[in-house]
Structure 1
């Protein structure tokens, strides 16, 4: 059970890192990092992908050990870096991006795993449920302790992991990209819990690329760049532009401008035309996308926006309507058909649907174009390496060598490598789902730059994203889906987050109905 010891003393130092370095062979992930974290604060740690944030968090959680330097937690030196020691002795808990939950166990069993009342073999079920309910109540969360965790959504899964950390009397809770897979509504619910913990005096380290939530939640911001600690400010004393400049070492305002703006003249043949297109999760979609146009697709998680992209690509079947590509009927019965037609699809779940984890950066990039580099049935390895190196340079993928394993790259650089894979087929239509999820502001600017280059060459881009500011930034028009139907198409110059959400949630129809009723009366 949580005790008062969890709450930190204001003004004290919760974490003191001194001269911390970490080398992976010739790669230097951290170099002489020195920083303090105030007790009882929510401190954000920001930086580009590959800046060293994940390495630092893994060391603090005991998942890795430093090459040099020291860590003190609550003024006690950490002498053994392993998760059990950091949790039991130093009370450090990590809430990772990939949640480690037992899907077939109950909420209470997951929260109290390893700390069950009674014994692990014969736990006291009633007391377990009561203790779990108390912890959930502290977080303001209404969950049945007896519910199966596999039936929870991602947001509630994170809350279960947070409750687990409280069950172990955590003094320091590390939150690694906690909103990367959450909808706006789920994120808001999580923010309420985080604010409650912050107000209760729990020390938190918060890793995120999302500037608005960092400025809304944190009291301090630390910035890493290229493995070095380059800045620390009270959040109230710094601006987002100053943080971005510290992260990337340059101003990015111009690089984050609108990606589109090169759409073909009215009356020209659309690159993609959908007429009454119906499939799993969407019905009767009518939408045109011109060459050189970026069309954003917005909607709640159950709106059908992801399924629509998968249907066009042939990953899921289209059961009705007509698709045309450059004026010719197009039906992708499988992704292979789409790739032959030079249609690209970047999935939102990078780790599970995109990356080939056991292969190198070069092999991940070249996997779709191996046939071009064959002679008499043999692969021309040198030519493939040149192809990969060229794409790595084009997208500025940070890697020591294209032969490096792709899982050794940061998330943002993995994403750029996947984009390089699709550029290799010289696409005429790109379908992108959450293209900058988990990507830092520097990599995001580079991806937007790529969008601008592609649309200038006449490539049509369809972007599905839960990040409304991003859609408003990159799109020429925004198509809004709700319950599988297209409910509106907005010009991005005139759209706002409010108008998009009004369509996505049905609020516009409620207002329209109320207005009509008022006129009749």
Structure 2
């Protein structure tokens, strides 16, 4: 029996139809995957279901009744709750306050909140998701993975009957992911249905029952998970066969590009590594291992002791540590951070303005920007990276996740770096855009660029790296070549064993 039937859903924005006769049917006690490339219409469809958008035409039947969802609060009252891909948390509030934000009434007497009761109640949901952090901790102090777990706890507190999960495992370790899957199965056993959106195809075969595929705003197919394959789903998503998920090219490394000696701070412990021009060096480990902290230290965002030696492609050399990212950029470093919306983009700015930000001085004279040169630069990267945008003036906030990530790539490529640090470059990016990013990595290494690839996706690390360093609690515990790394050996080092 269906808990949800969305029929012939259409949605138009000025100048564009983003959904055209889309269907989605979810059964009771089912985990139903919703697949599609970025821009396929998944988010728009879910925003209609949760009352954020109003559909132009179509119908929604929920629990056997026709419904007209008037807004997000109405959707929650119906038991439809969504965990968004981008965090919907207030950084200045505590974990407990975020979990019950908007639902404090049950802890309120005569206008006064019983904070002890609210904090105590939040522990139930934190324990369910395995987040071992005090509920009074401010959200601003949490890691990306801890924020994701807080979002899940917040959703569980609302007693959902239909739970929508958009990329919930993107920032989770394997242990946390398995815990989440256990929670999901428990919820299904209790009568909850789940719509599961993820670009990590392997997950669908672990946890989902059926899958619906959208492409370019239209319904393509619904299939039972046991009767399909990753290759079939990818073909349905992109409209063509994708021959290889990790199209790693073979390159011959050049001269020594980077050498790090004894990097240490409050999160790093005596880190030593090196890389050559044209190499992809992977940095792996579980959440909290120190991968992002290492990237920040290299790029001059965090103070660190030790020494960094850099030999840029323009023939210049550097020895020491960078005290500021501007110093790193001047010496040929660039960094795509793990959180593109908070750290990589200025969301109200246009595509062109974001692409131009790091290199404004190169296209200005006496403080006046040369707009023709800026337009040419923006058009170059829009075409090179195949950024799907109406034009260079479109606000970057309105782009899909994959296209936002391409804008971040473009702005750093314009600095003409010798070394590019990629921290979770394909997080929240669809399979088609992932392949495009991998092909871009190949073209950059073919030009002699060195790339540090930080990823929580082990298959991505193994598929795209020439060598992999494994971290655990701020130190290097393993170092593997592409040919010798195995999942077992990697996980052994990632959990504290030493190679």
Using the size of structure 1 for normalisation, the TM-score is: 0.87
1:238 to 228, 234, 240: 228
Question: CA separation of 1:47/1:129 partners in 2, compared to 1, >3 Å: closer, same or farther?
Answer: same
1:203 to 193, 207, 212: 193
**Partner residue in 2 for 1:48:** 37
The 8 Å contact of residues 99 and 122 in structure 2, kept in 1 or not, is answered as no
Which residues of 2 match residues 201-350 of structure 1 at below 5 A? Answer: 201-254=191-244, 256-259=246-249, 261-264=250-253, 269-326=255-312, 328-330=317-319, 331-350=321-340
Shift of 1:26: 1.1
* 2:358 is the alignment partner of 1:378: no
The 8 Å contact of residues 284 and 458 in structure 2, kept in 1 or not, is answered as yes
* 2:439 is the alignment partner of 1:473: no
Question: CA separation of 1:351/1:125 partners in 2, compared to 1, >3 Å: closer, same or farther?
Answer: closer
Supply the distance in 2 between the matched residues of 1:190 and 1:255 (Cα, whole angstroms). Answer: 26
The 8 Å contact of residues 273 and 325 in structure 1, kept in 2 or not, is answered as no
The 8 Å contact of residues 255 and 449 in structure 1, kept in 2 or not, is answered as no
Supply the distance in 2 between the matched residues of 1:133 and 1:188 (Cα, whole angstroms). Answer: 20
Shift of 1:210: 0.9
- The count of corresponding residues between Structure 1 and Structure 2 is 489
Supply the distance in 2 between the matched residues of 1:254 and 1:91 (Cα, whole angstroms). Answer: 40
Supply the distance in 2 between the matched residues of 1:217 and 1:92 (Cα, whole angstroms). Answer: 20
Shift of 1:104: 3.8
Using the size of structure 2 for normalisation, the TM-score is: 0.91
Supply the distance in 1 between the matched residues of 2:463 and 2:227 (Cα, whole angstroms). Answer: 27
Partner of 2:106: helix, strand, or coil?
A: coil
**Partner residue in 2 for 1:176:** 166
The 8 Å contact of residues 482 and 504 in structure 1, kept in 2 or not, is answered as yes
Structure exhibiting the larger radius of gyration computed from Cα positions: 1
Supply the distance in 1 between the matched residues of 2:399 and 2:371 (Cα, whole angstroms). Answer: 22
Moved more, 139-148 or 300-309: 139-148
Structure 1 unaligned runs (5+)? 1-11, 510-521
Supply the distance in 1 between the matched residues of 2:131 and 2:368 (Cα, whole angstroms). Answer: 60
**Partner residue in 2 for 1:160:** 153
Shift of 1:129: 7.3
Question: CA separation of 1:340/1:299 partners in 2, compared to 1, >3 Å: closer, same or farther?
Answer: same
Partner of 1:283: helix, strand, or coil?
A: coil
Question: CA separation of 1:105/1:451 partners in 2, compared to 1, >3 Å: closer, same or farther?
Answer: closer
Shift of 1:398: 0.9
Which residues of 2 match residues 76-87 of structure 1 at below 5 A? Answer: 76-87=65-76
The 8 Å contact of residues 342 and 428 in structure 1, kept in 2 or not, is answered as yes
Question: CA separation of 1:36/1:387 partners in 2, compared to 1, >3 Å: closer, same or farther?
Answer: same
Supply the distance in 2 between the matched residues of 1:78 and 1:441 (Cα, whole angstroms). Answer: 34
**Partner residue in 1 for 2:83:** 95
Moved more, 456-465 or 30-39: 30-39
TM-superposition CA deviations, 1:435-464 (whole Å, max 9, x none): 111111000000000011011111111111
Supply the distance in 1 between the matched residues of 2:211 and 2:495 (Cα, whole angstroms). Answer: 34
Which residues of 2 match residues 430-449 of structure 1 at below 5 A? Answer: 430-449=420-439
Supply the distance in 1 between the matched residues of 2:211 and 2:252 (Cα, whole angstroms). Answer: 40
Shift of 1:41: 0.7
Supply the distance in 2 between the matched residues of 1:457 and 1:375 (Cα, whole angstroms). Answer: 30
* 2:485 is the alignment partner of 1:495: yes
Shift of 1:77: 2.0
Question: CA separation of 1:74/1:248 partners in 2, compared to 1, >3 Å: closer, same or farther?
Answer: same
Which residues of 2 match residues 54-133 of structure 1 at below 5 A? Answer: 54-88=43-77, 90-101=78-89, 104-105=93-94, 107=96, 110-111=99-100, 113-114=103-104, 116=106, 119=109, 121-122=111-112
* 2:395 is the alignment partner of 1:405: yes
Shift of 1:242: 0.6
